[in-house]
Structures are given as C-alpha cells and as structure tokens.
Amino acid sequence: MKYTSLLMVALYLGFGIYILQSSQEQMAFPQQYKYILGGMLVFYGLLRFVRAYQQYFKKNRRND
C-alpha cells in the first residue's frame, strides 16, 4: 500500500508540474486556470506525501 501511495504522489506532482509548464498548444486552457489546476495538484501531491510519510515511514515513538 505504501508504494501505491508514493506512486500517486508522483503522479499528482508530475501532472501538476506538467500543467504548470505546458504551452498553449499542449493544453488549451487559459493561463490562470492552468495555474490554479496545476497548483492544486502540486499542493495535493505534497499533502499526500506528508500523510504517506507519517503513516508508513515515520517510526511510532510511543512504542519505543
């Protein structure tokens, strides 16, 4: 499950960066919509990374 979470993080971040960097010929959206959508995808990818890190990779300090 943790590798699936990391894969989704990479997909959200990658697609968000792609949208932010794409030209008008690649995506026929107005520039402000591309900024909003790309920013939301990057933010959500970062949020998923933090949650996956806390759930799967951070040691539980209460059990130490």
Mention every residue, 6+ apart, whose C-beta is less than 8 A from residue 4: none
Q: What is the rounded CA–CA span in Å between residue 4 and residue 8?
A: 6
Q: What is the rounded CA–CA span in Å between residue 48 and residue 56?
A: 12
pLDDT of residue 16: 94
The percent of residues in the chain predicted with pLDDT above 70, rounded, is 92
The percent of residues in the chain predicted with pLDDT above 90, rounded, is 58
Mean predicted lDDT score pLDDT of the chain: 88
Tokens of 27: 């995506």
pLDDT of residue 64: 46
Q: What is the rounded CA–CA span in Å between residue 54 and residue 52?
A: 5
Is residue 4 a contact partner of residue 55, using CB atoms and an 8 Å limit?
no
